């Protein structure tokens, strides 16, 4: 798949093995940033490209996705004589990707970088779209720009070693794109949810491609997230707040899934979708959430609503969020606290 970007076209290729490593070996000057868990699990096979090469191993936790980690990596790169012609190669999930993209963008005013996404979320969602992000204190993804990799090598076999909560996190983003593409698309994806849950490779590759194709159609229209791309935030307003109130116990894509369920409750209460459609949507989403991750205290009104109000789009006592109307999604900027509380209570009653 080719994706158009302000830096030129870049390519995402899907594999079922590590045959692409030979291509990486042909790159003359490299610096690797690798997720620690991936390094430990795949040391043997990755040894083929890592042997004798400069690298930095990252513990993929939100508290490390910050400027201190980025500066430590930059320092290591300079010490080990990375130059403008060095290609940065990121191997990991969204956390490693966000840090690597940030560094590639600023070091020597921009060097080429390559991404080998190892989580389902990174393979089906974050690998395209150009965003670079660092957290600052409690503020998530507050620093960054847009700087896509030159090439993305997706080996779908990586997902077999993911913990279930991280795997389901990726399924949340796949379901998000499936719903946003319309009810027929949702029905097609939800018809093989069991195979997806069993990590069936064929169905997984199909769904990853479908999700990426949908995202491509959005980001090529609005790469810099000025307006249209905002629709990709379906489930995110409520999901982000949940990630925060859970102290990041709830992974990003799981937050998005719970967020979509809340958004669908609001859509139904407003008459944008029927009760029957809402039940179908939320039943399928429920299949890919870990209900035991949710604690009622995360939604405590004294914590959840104030967190939602910190959203930059919250103005005049009204929340902004993306709602599904049966055919597509649209942004609504008139959501009241009462609607959200009622939606949460409805959702909690059903999980
Ligand atoms: N740049 C973007 O467009 C974008 C989009 C969505 C999310 N994000 C960011 O992505 C981050 C979440 O990323 P994520 O969900 O990909 O996970 P992650 O990078 O947080 O990794 C989750 C866990 O999986 C482990 N892991 C990674 N690959 C593995 C593998 N193959 N086998 C076993 N364990 C493995 C990691 O070590 C970590 O413990 C968040 O910080 C979020 O803000 C960025």
d(CA 334, CA 336): 6
Q: Which residues contact 297 (CB under 8 A, 6 or more apart)?
A: 303
pLDDT of residue 268: 97
* Residue range 207-262, pLDDT digits in tens: 999 999 999 999 999 999 999 999 999 999 999 999 999 988 899 999 999 999 99
Average pLDDT, the chain: 95
Q: State the residue for tokens 């205290």.
A: 297
Ligand 1 centre to CA of 167 (Å) is 10
Structure tokens at 143: 């620093």
Helices 252-269 and 164-180, packing angle to 10 deg = 40
Average pLDDT for 141-145: 94
> Ligand 1: residues whose CB is within 6 Å?
35, 37-38, 41, 60, 62, 65, 92-98, 118-119, 121-122, 125-126, 129, 131, 133, 141, 158, 161-162, 166, 169, 251-252
pLDDT, one tens digit per residue, over 150-183 is 999 999 999 999 999 999 999 999 999 999 999 9
Q: Are 212 and 194 in contact (CB under 8 A)?
A: no
- Mean pLDDT of the region 29-39: 98
Confidence of residue 294 (pLDDT cuts 50, 70, 90): confident
pLDDT greater than 90 at residue 18:
yes
Distance 231 CA to ligand 1 centre (A): 22
Name the residue at shortest CA distance from atom 39 of ligand 1.
60
**Strands 87-92 and 113-117, bridge-based pairing:** parallel
* 193 alpha carbon – ligand 1 mean position (Å): 22
Question: In terms of Cα–Cα distance, which of 199, 327, 175 is closest to 257?
Answer: 175
Q: What is the pLDDT of residues 62-107, one digit of tens each?
A: 999 999 999 999 999 999 999 999 999 999 999 999 999 999 999 9
User: What are the strands, taking DSSP E only, across 50-106?
Assistant: 55-58, 87-92
Is residue 313 helix, strand or coil?
coil
Residue with CA at minimum distance from ligand 1 atom 42: 94
- Mean of the pLDDT values across residues 124-142? 93
Q: Is the pLDDT of residue 114 over 90?
A: yes
Which residue reads 């027929």 in tokens? 184
In this model, does residue 199 exceed pLDDT 80? yes
pLDDT at 351 exceeding the cut of 80: no
What's the CA gap between 123 and 125, in Å, rounded?
A: 6
Q: Is the pLDDT assigned to residue 350 strictly greater than 80?
A: no
**84 CA distance to ligand 1 centroid (A)?**
27
C-alpha distances in Å from residue 258, one per residue of 71, 171, 190, 236, 291? 35, 12, 16, 9, 9
Retrieve residue 209's tokens. Answer: 């491609």
Question: Among 121, 129, 208, 251, which is best to mutate for testing ligand 1, by the most ligand atoms less than 8 A from CB?
Answer: 121
Distance 127 CA to ligand 1 centre (A): 11
Position 287 scores a pLDDT of: 94
Q: How far is CA 216 from the centre of its chain?
A: 14
Instruction: Using alpha carbons, select from 253, 294, 64 the residue that is nearest to residue 163.
Output: 253
Tell me: pLDDT of 137 over 90: no
Residues, the chain: 351
pLDDT at residue number 178:
96
């Amino acid at each position: 798949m080719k994706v158009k970007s302000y830096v030129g076209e870049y390519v995402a290729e899907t594999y079922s093995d590590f045959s692409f490593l030979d291509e990486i070996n042909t790159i003359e000057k490299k610096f690797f940033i690798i997720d620690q868990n991936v390094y430990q699990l795949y040391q043997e096979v990755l040894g083929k490209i890592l042997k004798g090469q400069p690298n930095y191993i990252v513990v993929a936790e939100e508290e490390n996705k910050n400027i201190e980690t980025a500066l430590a990596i930059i320092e290591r790169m300079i010490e080990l004589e990375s130059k403008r012609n060095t290609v940065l190669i990121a191997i990991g999930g969204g956390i490693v990707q966000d840090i690597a993209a940030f560094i590639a963008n600023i070091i020597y005013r921009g060097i080429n970088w390559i991404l080998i996404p190892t989580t389902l979320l990174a393979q089906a969602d974050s690998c395209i779209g150009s965003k670079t992000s660092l957290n600052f204190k409690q503020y998530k993804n507050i620093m960054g720009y847009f700087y896509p990799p030159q090439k993305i090598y997706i080996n779908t076999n990586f997902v077999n070693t993911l913990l279930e909560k991280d795997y389901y996190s990726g399924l949340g983003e796949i379901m998000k794109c499936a719903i946003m593409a319309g009810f027929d698309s949702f029905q097609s994806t939800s018809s093989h949810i069991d195979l997806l849950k069993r990590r069936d490779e064929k169905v997984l590759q199909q769904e990853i491609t479908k999700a990426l194709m949908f995202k491509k159609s959005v980001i090529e229209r609005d790469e810099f997230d000025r307006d249209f791309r905002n629709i990709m935030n379906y489930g995110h307003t409520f999901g982000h707040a949940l990630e925060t109130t859970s102290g990041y116990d709830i992974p990003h894509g799981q937050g998005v899934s719970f967020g979509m369920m809340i958004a669908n409750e609001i859509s139904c209460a407003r008459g944008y979708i029927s009760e029957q459609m809402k039940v179908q949507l939320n039943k399928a989403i429920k299949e890919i959430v870990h209900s035991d991750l949710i604690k009622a205290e995360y939604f405590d009104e004294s914590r959840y609503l104030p967190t939602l109000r910190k959203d930059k789009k919250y103005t005049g006592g009204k929340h902004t969020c993306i709602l599904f109307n049966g055919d597509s999604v649209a942004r609504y900027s008139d959501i009241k606290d009462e609607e959200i509380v009622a939606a949460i209570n409805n959702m909690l009653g059903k999980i």
